[in-house]
Structure 1
Amino acid sequence: MRYRRFGKTEMLLSVFSLGTMRYLSSAENAHKTIDRALEVGINHIETAEGYGKSEEFIGLAMGNGLSKQRDRFFLTTKISPTDSADAMWRRIEKSLKRMQVDYIDNFDIHGINLREHLELVTNPHGCMKAVRQAIDQGIIGHVGFSTHAPLDVILDTISTDLFASVNLHYYYFNQRNEPAVQLAHEKDMGVFIISPSDKGGRLYQPSEELAGVSYPFTALYMGDRFLLSDQRVHTLSLGAANPAEIDSHQDAWDHDEPLSELEQAVLDCMNRRYTALGDDLCSQCYKCLPCPEEINIPEVLRLRNLAIGFDMVEYGKYRYKMFENAGHWFPGSKAIRCTDCGDCLPRCPENLDIPKLLRDTHDRLHGEEGRRLWE
C-alpha cells in the first residue's frame, strides 16, 4: 500500500480509503470489512451521517475491540450543511456518540451541491461556526467538503479557503472536474476521489468492449492507475460491500508512479474508441446549458458516448435512471422531456442535432427508476 500526504492536513493517507456506504448488510460484516482494510494497509475510514447505519456499525466495531486500534487509522465523517451553528453542533455530537469516538480526524460538510449550500457555509454565524468550535475543542482535526455540484460551484467553494480538502467526482470517463482538482492542488488541499470504480464506470463489471480495450490490464486497474498516476490526487474511495471486495484493487495500490509506456498505450487505445461516434461525439463543453426543461444535456450525452464507444449500456442505464430521482445529488430531467425548442442548438460548437441525440439516448438507456443507495 502506498501513502500520500493529504494536502495541508498533513495526514499521511493510504492511496485507497475505505468508503462505508456499501457495507450496510450487518454490523458483523462491517467489522470484518474494516479489519480487512486495516490488514492490507488502508488507514482511512470514511463515512457519513446519511449512510444508513454506517456510523452505528463503526460504533459497534469500536465497542468490540476496534477502539484498541484507533491509532492505526484516520476517521472521516460527513454532515450536510445546516442553517444554524446549534443544529450542526447537535449533529456532530450525535455522530460522535454513534461511532463511540471522542474525536474525528477529518470532518466534511457533506454535499455542497448548490449555491444555496455554499451560502450556508459562508454565513459567519451558520454551521461553520460550530465546526470551528469543534476544531478549537479538539473534537475535529481538519475540515473539508464533499460535492456533486456543477464545476463553477466547486471552484467557488474551493476559493473560499474555508476547507483543507475536497471529495469530488473525477475519473477517466468523466474529467469535467479536472480544473477543480488543479485548483485544489494549487491551494495544497487534500483531494479524495468519490466512487472511482462504480460511478466512474462500474469498472468491476466491464462490458466486453471495455474489457478488451483495457487488455492486458483490467478496466478496474486502468481506472485506478489513471488516478494514482496523478500526483494531485491523494486517495480513492474503495467502497467495499464485504472484505473480499477490498482485494480487487490489490494490483493498483502498490503502483502510484507515472504511467508506464504500456499503460499509456492502453489509455491511448481507449481514447480512440470515441471515434465510433463519428460526428455525433459530444465533447462535453457544457455550452448547451442551461436547458429550459432542465435536462442535463452534457451528462445525458456523456452516457451516450460511453454506450456507443465502449458498449457501457448497463452503466448508462444505471446512471440514467437516477435522473429525476436523486435531487441535487444527480440533477436533471430525463432526455424524453426535450420539446425540440432548439435553444441549445446555436451554442453547440459541434453542431450536434441535440434533440435527436437526446431521444436516442433515452431509447437506449431508459429502464427502471432508481434511488440513491441509502434510500
Structure 2
Amino acid sequence: MQHRSFGEGPPVSLFTLGTMRALQAPDQMLTVLRAALTAGVNHLETAPAYGPAESFLGDALAQLQSEGVQPEGHGWVITTKLLPGLTLDEGQAALKASLERLGINRLDNLAIHGLNLDSHLDWALHGEGARLIDWALNSGTVGQVGFSSHGSNALIHQAIDSQRFRFCCLHLHLLDPTRMPLAQLALQQTMGVLAISPADKGGRLQAPSGQLVEDCRPFQPLELAYRYLLAAGISTLSVGAQTATDLELAHALGQSDGPLQTEESRAIERLDQQRRQRLGHDLCGQCRACLPCPNAVPIPDLLRLRNLALGHELIEFASERYNLIGRAGHWWETVDADACQSCGDCLPRCPHGLAIPELLADTHQRLAAAPRRRLWG
C-alpha cells in the first residue's frame, strides 16, 4: 500500500485501521489486525473512549510481535486520543494508562478527541491542555499532537490556523464535501489529514441503498467515495473494520492514490446531477447563508439529510443521524427541525429562494423516529 506524509510523524498508509468496531473479543481484534497487515495498513487509530479497544489492540500487537511480524519500515504507527478538559495531572495519568494498555513506551500521534467547542480549543491553546501538550511533546512521550473535531467549520479553521497541531481528523465525505476546503487548508500547512469514517458516516456506504448503487455505476459507492478523497490528497482514510473482509476494498485500492480518472469524474458528476434532478428547486446547496437562525436550528445540516434521503434514498442513514440530535452532547447537533417557529428570518437570505420552514417541517416528518443508541459514549 502507498504511504503519505502525516504532519511531522512517520508516513502512514492510504488507509487507517479504526478500532472502534472490533470490540466483541480480543480474538476479533487480532483477526482484524492481521487483515490490516495483509492489506498493507500501517496506521492504527484508537482511543480510551472506545471501550476495550486499546487493551484488545495492545494484546494483538503483542501477539504479532511475538511472531516477528509488523509493517515494513517504521512498523506500526499508532494514534490514540485524550478528551479535552483534563487537568495536567489527569492528562498525564490518562496518557500513561493508554501507553500501558497499548504495550508501548512512546506514542507516534496523540489527538485531542472531539475538539468541538470554543472552550475545548481554549483549553488546548491556553489552559491545562496547553500544559499537557507541552509536557507530552517535551518529555518525548508523544511524537506529534493533532485533533479530531465534530465542531463548526469556523472552530476547525481556527484550530488549523493556530499552528498548535500537526494533524487533524475530520468528517470528509463524497456526499458531504463541505469540509474539504478545511482539509485542503490543513494540507497546505503540511498537516496530516485523516478522513473520519468515510464509509459509515458518509452515508452507510458499506451497505448502500439500491438507488445509490445505481447512481454510482459502474463503481461501487464506497469505491467512488474512497477515490474521491484519495484523489483530493487526503492523507489517510479510516476503515472501522469488524471483520477481515471489511478491509478488502482498502487492500484493492492500496495503490490508487492518483488523480480521478475520466470515468470516475463522470460518475461523480452524474451522482450530483441525479441528486439535483430529484430535489429540483428544493435542493439545499449548503451555502449556509440562512444562518444564524434565531432558534438555533442548524438549517443546512438538517436539509443536507433531506437531500440525501430524497436524492439517493438514504432514508435509514438520514433517519439515524437525525435521531441522534440532542442525544449526543457536543458530538452532534442539539436542535432539530421541530424547533423552527416559521419566523421567516432565514427566507430573504437564501439565494435560491427555498421555502425553508416548509422544508424543515418536511424533514422532521420524514426522519423523526425512536432514538437509537450511539456506538460509543
TM-score by length of 1: 0.95
- Equivalent-residue separation in structure 1 for 2:160 and 2:75 (angstroms): 29
Segments of structure 1 that go 5 or more residues without pairing to the other structure are: none
Q: Which residue identity lines up with residue 29 of structure 1 in the other structure?
A: Q
Structure 1 counterpart of 2:307, from 305, 308, 322: 305
Q: Are the counterparts in 2 of residues 14 and 42 from structure 1 also a CA contact under 8 Å?
A: yes
1:131 aligned residue (133, 136, 143): 133
Corresponding position of 2:188: 186
1:328-363 Cα offsets, whole Å, 9 max, x none, are: 111231212222122222221112111110111112
SS in 1 for 2:169: strand
Mapped contact 1:87–1:127 kept (Cα < 8 A): no
Identity %: 39
Confirm whether residue 247 of structure 1 aligns to residue 258 of structure 2: no
Residue 258 of structure 1 corresponds to 259
Which residue of the other structure, out of 77, 80, 96, is the alignment partner of 1:77? 80
Paired letter, 2:162: T
Aligned to 1:46: 45
Quote the residue 2:277 is aligned against: 275
* Aligned equivalent of 1:369: 371
Question: Match of 2:178, SS?
Answer: coil
Supply the RMSD in Å over aligned alpha carbons: 1.6
Counterparts of 1:132-171 in structure 2 under 5 Å? 132-171=134-173
* TM-score normalised over the length of structure 2: 0.95
- What is the deviation of 1:72? 2.0
Alpha-carbon distance, 1:131 to partner: 2.4
- Counterpart Cα distance in 1 of 2:291 and 2:132: 37
The one of 85, 88, 93 aligned to 1:90: 93
| C-alpha deviation, 1:247, in angstroms | 1.1
Q: Which SS does the other structure have where 1:200 is aligned? A: coil
Q: Is the 8 A contact 2:88 2:129 kept in 1?
A: yes
How far is 1:179 from its partner? 2.1
Tell whether the 8 Å contact from 2:347 to 2:354 is kept in structure 1 after alignment. yes
1:356 maps to what in 2?
Answer: 358
Cα distance between partner residues in 1 of 2:14 and 2:62: 27
The offset of 1:86, in angstroms, is: 1.7
Match among 107, 124, 142 for residue 121 of structure 1: 124
For 2:133 and 2:259, the matched residues in 1 are separated by 37
Q: Indicate the residue corresponding to 2:321 in structure 1.
A: 319
1:103 alignment partner in structure 2: 106
Find the counterpart in structure 2 of residue 57 from structure 1: 56
Change in CA separation of 1:47 and 1:2 when aligned onto 2, cut-off 3 Å: same
Q: Give the Cα–Cα distance (whole angstroms) in 1 for the partners of residues 2 and 346 of structure 2.
A: 46
Find the aligned partners of 1:207 and 1:251 in 2 and give their Cα distance: 23
Gaps (5+ residues) in structure 2?
none
Displacement of 1:81 in angstroms is 1.4
Q: Offset at 1:83?
A: 4.6
Q: Distance in 1 between matches of 2:40 and 2:86?
A: 38
Cα distance in 1 for partners of 2:107, 2:351 equals 47
Native 8 Å contact 2:40 2:254 kept in 1: no
Q: Do residues 2 (structure 1) and 2 (structure 2) align?
A: yes
Contact 1:326–1:371 (CA<8 Å) still a contact in 2?
no
Task: Provide the C-alpha distance between the structure 2 equivalents of 1:95 and 1:176, rounded to a whole number of angstroms.
Answer: 33
* Rounded Cα–Cα distance in structure 2 between residues aligned with 1:248 and 1:255: 11
1:237 paired residue number: 238
